[in-house]
């Protein structure tokens, strides 16, 4: 039960749909993807899934415990119970999602990472905060108390999240009117990702748009949104992308006088500050004439090197996610640490920070050590040695050409 994750099982589907969107980009000759941004988005998704593999089991165990010992009823697994659970999961998601936008602590710790990309494509759906799942589970616990068992909950919650993948696209303009009214769509969710003041904190729905219409947070798409957050993160490093908002929030708390004001910084809306510091800061209008996306990138040889390494990290991460229950805690922690180091390192190289190239040699050596640990035997030493020599030589050529 603890390893059941429909989202991970859908990884092949995700990348297949991203492939179709890339084909659409070629056919229509439009710029939907940037390599650096897409790698950063998927890296944040890797970070989220890896950290979830470490402590996500605790949140599932909490749901299981409440369901087993505190539930007020036992809901049978029937078609009507799954329909009811689908509606309730979506309602709980709406309130978690809305709270993640309206409570500064949750915004910075559990959600802002998802909104940092200044592009809008299917890779953005994978861009998730590392701690988001832990805080989200708190909002779902009433379902355990009602009596929906853990298997049913995880299955329906997975379907809810999988649905939300396809709405992160500009390739679809509008769905039929009846569909747009009832369900979340690419048009509705583009609004949600807009940093334009009229679009801020709108359209929090997961699958059913009725919640936003019912609770007054609906906004139809008018002009095409400008994507991203009001304070751009300006990094391709997924680790720093998760840490920076927390650092900024911590500094804001430190710089605010008075205990109650400090609490308000944490639990009021993002942008709140005391009157003596200027009061609530509204999201500024976007000047489309001067607005420029963060787009630093290295020379092409480094991009090719990073891309190949990133594909290898994706493959390794997939293997880790499917097999991590086979390892003890310390081995699991070491492998997760290696993945986090890898995506962080590759993100830094994508920022053209040449002073970090020496640490990439160390990561290559560590990769060989991981291969020996996982495979074992003489063959593993041959494979590891060959890859270390190959990638070290390639990296040296890339460094010389920069």
Range 173-186 average pLDDT: 97
Report the alpha-carbon distance of residue 317 to residue 339 in Å, rounded. 7
Please state the domain extents for the chain: 6-215, 300-401
Q: What angle do CA 314, 318, 320 make, to 5 degrees?
A: 115
Residue 208, strand partner residues: 183
Tokens 């920069």 locate to 402
Q: Which string of b and e fits 363-384 if b means at least 16 CB within 10 Å?
A: bbebbbebbeebeeeeebeeeb
Residue that is written with structure tokens 């919640």 in the block: 211
Q: Poorest-confidence range of 46-60, 76-90, 334-348?
A: 46-60
The two structure tokens encoding residue 353: 């920070």
Mean pLDDT along residues 367-395:
95
Give residue-wise pLDDT tens across range 18-68.
999 999 999 999 999 999 999 999 999 999 999 988 887 888 999 999 999
Pair of tokens at residue 119: 């592009």
Q: pLDDT value at position 2?
A: 46
For residues 2-24, average pLDDT: 82
Residue 1: the pLDDT is 47
Is the pLDDT at 327 greater than 50? The verdict is yes
Quickly list H helices, 103-207. 104-106, 122-126, 132-146, 150-163, 177-182, 186-192
Residue 153 confidence (pLDDT): 96
DSSP track, 368-399: HHHHHHHH-HHHHHHHHHHHHHHHHHHHHHHH
Of residues 399, 331, 332, 338, the one with CA closest to residue 366: 338
Closest-CA residue to 212 (of 231, 178, 184, 241): 184
Q: Which residues contact 24 (CB under 8 A, 6 or more apart)?
A: 32, 171
At 138-166, the pLDDT tens digits run 999 999 999 999 999 999 999 999 999 99
- Give Cα 47 distance to the centre of its chain: 8
Per-residue pLDDT tens over the stretch 247-289: 999 999 999 999 999 999 999 999 999 988 888 888 888 888 8
């Amino acid at each position: 039960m603890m390893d059941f994750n429909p989202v991970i099982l859908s990884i092949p589907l995700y990348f297949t749909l991203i492939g179709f969107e890339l084909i659409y980009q070629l056919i229509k000759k439009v710029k939907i993807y940037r390599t650096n941004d897409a790698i950063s988005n998927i890296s944040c998704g890797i970070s989220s899934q890896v950290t979830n593999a470490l402590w996500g089991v605790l949140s599932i165990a909490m749901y299981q415990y409440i369901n087993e010992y505190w539930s007020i009823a036992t809901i049978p697994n029937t078609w009507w119970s799954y329909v009811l659970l689908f509606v309730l999961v979506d309602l709980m998601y709406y309130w978690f999602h809305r709270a993640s936008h309206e409570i500064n602590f949750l915004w910075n710790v559990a959600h802002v990472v998802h909104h940092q990309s200044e592009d809008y494509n299917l890779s953005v759906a994978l861009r998730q905060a590392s701690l988001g799942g832990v805080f989200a589970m708190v909002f779902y616990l009433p379902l355990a108390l009602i009596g929906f068992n853990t298997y049913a909950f995880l299955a329906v919650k997975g379907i809810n999240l999988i649905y939300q993948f396809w709405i992160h696209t500009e390739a679809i303009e509008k769905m039929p009117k009846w569909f747009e009214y009832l369900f979340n769509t690419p048009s509705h969710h583009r609004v949600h990702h807009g940093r334009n003041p009229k679009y801020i904190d709108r359209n929090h729905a997961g699958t059913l748009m009725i919640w936003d219409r019912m609770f007054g947070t609906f906004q139809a798409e008018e002009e095409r949104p400008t994507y991203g957050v009001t304070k751009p993160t300006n990094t391709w490093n997924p680790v720093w992308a998760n840490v920076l908002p927390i650092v900024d929030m911590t500094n804001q708390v430190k710089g605010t006088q008075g205990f109650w004001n400090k609490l308000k910084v944490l639990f009021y809306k993002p942008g709140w500050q005391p009157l003596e510091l200027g009061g609530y800061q509204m999201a500024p209008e976007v000047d489309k004439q001067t607005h420029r996306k963060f787009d630093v990138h290295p020379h092409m040889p480094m991009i090719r090197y990073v891309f190949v390494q990133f594909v290898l990290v994706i493959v390794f991460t997939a293997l880790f996610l499917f097999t991590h229950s086979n390892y003890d805690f310390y081995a699991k922690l070491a492998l997760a640490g290696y993945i986090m180091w890898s995506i962080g390192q590759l993100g830094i190289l994508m920022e053209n920070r040449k002073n970090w190239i020496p640490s990439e040699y160390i990561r290559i050596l560590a990769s060989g050590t991981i291969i020996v640990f996982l495979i074992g035997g003489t063959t593993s030493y041959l494979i590891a040695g060959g890859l270390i020599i190959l990638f070290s030589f390639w990296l040296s050529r890339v460094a010389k050409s920069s």
